[in-house]
Amino acid sequence: MRKEKVIQFGEGGFLRGFVDWMLQKVNEKTDFNGSVVVVQPIERGMCDQLTKQGCRYTHMIRGKEGVEVSEIDVISRCVKPYDDFDSYIALAENKDFRFIVSNTTEAGIAVNEGDKLTDRPASSFPGKLTQLLYKRYELGLGGFVFLPCELSDDNGIELRKCILKYADMWSLGDGFKKWINEENIFTITLVDRINTGYPKNEDTGIDDKMLNTSEYFHLWVIDGYEGLFNELPLDKCGLNVILTDQIDMYHTRKVRILNGAHTSLVPHALLSGYDTVKSCVDSEEMLSHIKKCVYDEIIPTLDLPTNELLSYADSVLNRFANPYIKHYLSSIALNSVSKFRVRVLPSILEYIKRFDKVPKTLVFSFARLIEFYKKGTPNDADSIMEFMKNASVKDILANKELWGQDLTFLYDEVSKYVD
What is the predicted pLDDT for the residue at 418? 87
User: For the chain, which residues make up each domain, given as ranges?
Assistant: 3-245, 248-415
Q: In angstroms, rounded to a whole number, what is the distance separating the alpha carbons of residues 173 and 18?
A: 37
Tell which residue, 318, 342, 320, has the closest CA to residue 329: 320
Collect all residues with Cβ–Cβ distance below 8 Å to 370 and sequence separation of at least 6.
Answer: 388, 393, 396, 414, 418
What does pLDDT average to in each consecutive run of 10 residues of the chain (419 residues)? 96 96 98 98 95 98 96 98 98 98 87 98 98 98 97 94 98 98 98 93 93 97 96 97 96 96 97 97 98 98 95 97 94 94 97 98 98 95 96 98 97 92
Looking at domain 3-245, its CATH architecture is: 3-Layer(aba) Sandwich (3.40)
- Whether residue 313 contacts residue 295, with contact meaning beta carbons closer than 8 Å, is answered with yes
What is the predicted pLDDT for the residue at 106? 66
Reduced to 3 states (helix: H, G, I; strand: E, B; else coil), residue 15 is: helix
Tell which residue, 107, 119, 120, 225, has the closest CA to residue 162: 107
Reduced to 3 states (helix: H, G, I; strand: E, B; else coil), residue 336 is: helix
Q: In angstroms, rounded to a whole number, what is the distance separating the alpha carbons of residues 83 and 50?
A: 16
What is the predicted pLDDT for the residue at 26? 98
Question: pTM, whole model, 2 decimals?
Answer: 0.92
What is the predicted pLDDT for the residue at 1? 87
1.10.1040.10, 3.40.50.10490, 1.10.3720.10, 3.40.50.2020: CATH of 248-415: 1.10.1040.10
